[in-house]
Amino acid sequence: MTKGRTRRRVIVAFVVLTFVGVLGGAVALRAAKRDPGKDARASVALEFAADDLAYVESRPLARWLPVSGTLQAVRQTVVKAKVAGDIAGLDVREGEPVRAGQVVAHIRSPDLESRIIDRQGALESARAQLGLAEKTRAMNLRLLSDKFISQNAFDGAESSYNVARGNVKSAEAQLQLAKNALADAEVVAPLTGIVAKRHVQTGEKVAIEAPILSIVDLRDLEVQAMVPAIDVPELSSGMPVELRVDGFGERSFRGRIDRINPSTEPGTRAIVVYVSLPNPDAALRNGMFATGRIALAASAPAPTLPLAAVRSEAGQSFVWTIDDGKLARRVVITGRRDEANGRVEIRTMLPPRTPVLAARFDNLKDGAPALVRAATSSQNAMQVRGRGSG
């Protein structure tokens, strides 16, 4: 009887201990699920090398004035008809080169040909009348010397002779005008370049001043860029301009400011700046769009950070700093960017000598423990040598 009671007590005690153990394990498991790895995170801090950090430095920023515009050939022209008639021949097509003085088209004008014949007849008639007047004058001169005629009679013959001479000169001038008009029937290229457009075709009738060809000389191009008037005082003729042209990728073209318009454009506060761009290989074409920038004087020193240190998210700029051994996400306001030197102006005041993460890291959390790994002696020596060589 006593042995039975003892056995029951042992069993009850075992069941109670088992229940308490299971309950304690469940509580511990639930706590572990609620905050997994808490102790591990508390004990592990992110380490960053000195090369991963940057500090706010006061530096001058390079300044650039952006410009853009369409390429225009400095020398281009529209060849027009100087006489009316039919296009008897058009010897060039779009894209073909032409030389200054080259005949590029012929205009057939029967009226001009008839006018030349008429003017030639008028000249021959005037010359015949001049010959007759000259003989009459010579005869009257002898008669006057022999006193067979009066001075008044001789003066009349002299006047007729002078009139005949004037008629000959007038007829010669009229004939020359007709010849010049017929010469204008041959259309000549006024400059060396490339045919950009044919406005007429062979056989078409053209009137005086009708366009026939457009010719473009691609050796020298120009960009007409609109610049805010406030920036014009910093510009001057001869300043270099870096340009990029659509379709040429990263290829850069170097131009210069050729001249600056003295007046603002109507309705704007902008002034046209003319940028000349040599094009000796004719790679660039008339009408292409170009963008570029003009280097201005460097600004006064300003607080800056490397461009890589500033992140952007949802339109907000921020940096990661290490403050009292913890990561801190600080929102900053940026200013001018210096792409050439990889710096950006920081207008938000940061604590002096605050380490800022200059490299990009993923999965950073605000408040996470962080520390800066001390540089080794070899790294220190390299830094000292680097400063000495600089």
What domains are there in the chain, each with its CATH number?
46-61+300-389 (2.40.420.20), 67-73+218-296 (2.40.30.170), 110-184 (1.10.287.470)
Residue 30 has pLDDT above 60, yes or no: no
What is the sign, positive or negative, of the torsion defined by CA atoms of 36, 37, 39, 45?
A: negative
The larger pLDDT score, comparing residue 304 to residue 157, is at: 304
Going by C-alpha positions, the residue among 378, 254, 370, 373 that lies closest to residue 320 is 370
Give the span between the Cα atoms of 284 and 281, in whole angstroms: 8
- The Cα-based distances of 134 to 138, 149, 158, 171, 382 in angstroms read 6, 17, 9, 17, 110
Task: Write down the pLDDT at residue 295.
Answer: 86
Task: Write down the pLDDT at residue 299.
Answer: 76
The larger pLDDT score, comparing residue 242 to residue 143, is at: 242
pLDDT (tens digit per residue) in 60-87 = 888 888 999 999 999 999 999 988 888 9
Task: Write down the pLDDT at residue 387.
Answer: 35
Across the range 194-202, mean pLDDT stands at 93
Look up residue 195 and give its two tokens.
């045919």
The 3-state secondary structure of the chain reads CHHHHHHHHHHHHHHHHHHHHHHHHHHHHHHHHHCCCHHHHHHCCEEECHHHEECCEEECCCEEEEEEEEEEEEEEEEEECCCCEEEEEECCCCCCEECCCCEEEEEECHHHHHHHHHHHHHHHHHHHHHHHHHHHHHHHHHHHHCCCCCHHHHHHHHHHHHHHHHHHHHHHHHHHHHHHHHHCCEEECCCCEEEEEECCCCCCEECCCCEEEEEEEEEEEEEEEEEEHHHHHHCCCCCEEEEEECCCCCCCEEEEEEEEEEEECCCCCEEEEEEEEECCCCCCCCCCEEEEEEEECCCCCEEEEEHHHCEEECCEEEEEEEECCEEEEEECCEEEEECCCCEEEECCCCCCCCCEECCCCCCCCCCCEEEECCCCHHHHHHHHHHHHHC
The larger pLDDT score, comparing residue 100 to residue 168, is at: 100
What confidence category does residue 219 fall into, taking pLDDT thresholds of 50, 70 and 90? Answer: very high
What confidence category does residue 4 fall into, taking pLDDT thresholds of 50, 70 and 90? Answer: low
Across the range 349-373, mean pLDDT stands at 86
Residue 361 has pLDDT above 70, yes or no: yes
The larger pLDDT score, comparing residue 301 to residue 5, is at: 301
